[in-house]
Chains A and B, each alone.
Chain A
Amino acid sequence: MKVGKYEVLEDRYYTESDEWVKIEGEIVTVGITDYAQKKLRDIVGVELPQVGREVKMGESIAVVESVKAAADIYSPLSGTVVEVNEDLISEPELINRDPYGAGWIFKLKVANKAEVEKLLTAEKYSEKIRGD
């Protein structure tokens, strides 16, 4: 759905810090939202987490570098990093071009599925960014 000039996908969950989460069984894919990439503008670099790293919900896990600022990416759930998007090392602009697709950042094996309830639905996230 469109919220102003920003795209919000209904098949995902969201965080207050503008990450999106796509759940497929025990594995979740994480990226930053269209809103976040538009706010950051041109993304020129990404620091990816180590595969195998265990993280807690809300822990800083990656950094997205834009010409405007460096933004911390927070893990939306607790779990273990099982895959990172290596394409972003040479093509960080994929996050600008396709934030919900080719611009995904990392995948987690979720430790505690109950945490999903703390995430925002597409509708709640839309409310958060509406009017901005």
Chain B
Amino acid sequence: MLSTPLYDVEEKVGASFGEFAGWRMPMEYSSYQKEHMAVRQEVAFFDLSHMGRLRLKGKISEVETLVAKTVSRKENNVMIGPTAFLNDRGGFVDDVMVYKLSDDEFLVVTNAVNREKDIQWIRKNSSLEVEDLTFKYVMLAIQGRKVWNYLARVDLEPLHFKLNAEFMGEKVFLLSRSGWTGEEGVEVWADVETGKRLVEKLISIGMTPAGLITRDSLRQEMGFVLYGEDIDESVNPVEARYWVFSLEKDFIGKAKVEEYLANGVEKLRVGFKMNKGERSLPRNGNKLKLLDKEVGYVTSSTYSPYLSRVIGMGYVNSRNFVLGYSVHVEVRGKKYSVKLTDFPLVKVQ
């Protein structure tokens, strides 16, 4: 099993570790509910060093073929994403973030579980040079409503990033603005030793360390998908209502995406909320039923500390896409009412 290079310093501040996508990562420090609320009310930081980070070099036209969103028209030093690598059936090979460094150099952040698959796929479908930076740098994300009370305001436009920037007195490889929790935030790539010092500095200014359980509850509140649970190679962006493509250019899977858009799809992704007080968590594969007829299934769920109720997402047959209406979910043979809801499930100001 791979392990985060920040293991020692995180263990010292009380992390409990667990396996995710073949990596030993901090799952939580105190309680995920406290860490979650720290992001919604103050600020917290996350170690995301398990996520694959690749440097691509070569023709931009080849990158355009791989990535579903347009990159050519973007200026340098901007993030493009989330976008996706799609297979020729329009299914998700992966959902990724792309950073455009120049017209012939790009960084890509992949899901941890897909890093090796993505490298193979890029090599198979292009002549781009691929360098795996995953083990060279660690990645920290700092997220929260009051992030700027803790950090000097980072001089970056939301989608822009800086290479070789200075952050908290340390030289970091990449610094960018990001907001996958729905709150303000920054993302930092740094070498391992700098990363360790940054963790210590963030702790010393009173920032809450948060683990991957919190990351999961935050992303579900915002309605963001997790690869392997909510999307995979058999699901396309139209079904997932995940608008990660641009039809103004060609990319692998485009013909299928156009077909799905024009002809419609069998199922659509939807969020749900359970009633307050219901404390059973539907799991991946649990059935959604309407008047005792199976109309869909759950892909992920969690207990939302912000809403104090169980939330989740899944797919509903497009003919039964009764957004705003309640259906039943079956958990261990028992029926619970859940309201189908659009994303995000939490509206943050």
Is A70 touching B28 in the complex (CB atoms < 8 A)? no
Is B280 touching A41 in the complex (CB atoms < 8 A)? no
Is B279 touching A42 in the complex (CB atoms < 8 A)? no
Question: What residue of chain B has the Cβ atom nearest to residue A38's Cβ?
Answer: B16
Interface residues of B: mostly helix, strand, loop or mixed? Answer: mixed
Cβ-defined partner of A67 (8 Å) among B16, B277, B280, B302: B302
In Å, the complex CA distance between A87 and B332 comes to 23
Cβ-defined partner of B31 (8 Å) among A42, A65, A70, A92: A42
Whether B176 sits at the interface, judged by CB under 8 Å, is no
Is B283 touching A70 in the complex (CB atoms < 8 A)? yes
Determine the interface band of chain A, counting residues with CB < 8 A from chain B.
10 to 19
Contacts of A90 in B (CB 8 A): 277
Instruction: Known contacts A67-B302, A70-B332; decide if A45 and B31 are in contact (CB<8 Å).
Output: no
Contacts of B281 in A (CB 8 A): 44-45, 65, 67, 70
Question: What residue of chain B has the Cβ atom nearest to residue A42's Cβ?
Answer: B32
Cβ-defined partner of B28 (8 Å) among A41, A47, A89: A41
- Distance of B283 from chain A, by nearest CB (Å): 7
Q: Which of B269-319 contact A (CB under 8 A)?
A: 277-281, 283, 302-303, 310
Instruction: Known contacts A67-B32, A67-B302, A96-B31; decide if A41 and B283 are in contact (CB<8 Å).
Output: no
Contacts of A111 in B (CB 8 A): none
- Distance of B212 from chain A, by nearest CB (Å): 11
Contacts of B302 in A (CB 8 A): 67
Whether B27 sits at the interface, judged by CB under 8 Å, is yes
Contacts of A42 in B (CB 8 A): 28, 31-33, 213, 303
- Distance of B66 from chain A, by nearest CB (Å): 35
In Å, the complex CA distance between A93 and B310 comes to 15
Instruction: Known contacts A67-B302, A67-B303, A96-B31; decide if A41 and B213 are in contact (CB<8 Å).
Output: yes
Whether A105 sits at the interface, judged by CB under 8 Å, is no
Contacts of A44 in B (CB 8 A): 279, 281, 303, 310
Whether A63 sits at the interface, judged by CB under 8 Å, is yes
Contacts of A96 in B (CB 8 A): 31
Which one of A65, A68, A89, A96 has the highest number of Cβ atoms from chain B below 10 Å of its Cβ?
Answer: A65
Q: Which of A36-76 contact B (CB under 8 A)?
A: 38, 41-42, 44-47, 63, 65, 67-68, 70
In Å, the complex CA distance between A96 and B278 comes to 19
Cβ-defined partner of B279 (8 Å) among A41, A46, A68: A46
Determine the interface band of chain B, counting residues with CB < 8 A from chain A.
20 to 34
In Å, the complex CA distance between A96 and B213 comes to 16
Cβ-defined partner of B332 (8 Å) among A41, A63, A67: A63
Contacts of A45 in B (CB 8 A): 278-281, 303, 310
Contacts of A68 in B (CB 8 A): 213
Whether B217 sits at the interface, judged by CB under 8 Å, is yes
Contacts of A70 in B (CB 8 A): 280-281, 283, 331-332
Q: Which of B230-247 contact A (CB under 8 A)?
A: none
- Distance of B330 from chain A, by nearest CB (Å): 13
Contacts of B213 in A (CB 8 A): 41-42, 67-68
Question: What residue of chain B has the Cβ atom nearest to residue A44's Cβ?
Answer: B303
Residues in chain A within 8 A of chain B (CB atoms): 38, 41-42, 44-47, 63, 65, 67-68, 70, 89-90, 92-93, 96
Give me 14 other A-B pairs in contact (C-beta within 8 A), A41-B28, A44-B303, A90-B277 excluded.
Answer: A41-B27, A42-B28, A42-B31, A44-B279, A44-B310, A45-B281, A45-B303, A45-B310, A46-B279, A65-B279, A67-B281, A68-B213, A89-B277, A93-B33
Which 7 A-B residue pairs are closest in the complex by CB-CB distance? A45-B279, A44-B303, A42-B32, A65-B281, A67-B302, A45-B280, A67-B213
Residues in chain B within 8 A of chain A (CB atoms): 16, 18, 27-28, 31-33, 213, 216-217, 277-281, 283, 302-303, 310, 331-332
Q: List 17 A-B contacts (CB under 8 A).
A: A41-B27, A41-B28, A42-B28, A42-B33, A42-B303, A44-B279, A44-B281, A44-B303, A44-B310, A45-B280, A45-B303, A63-B280, A63-B332, A65-B279, A92-B279, A93-B31, A96-B31
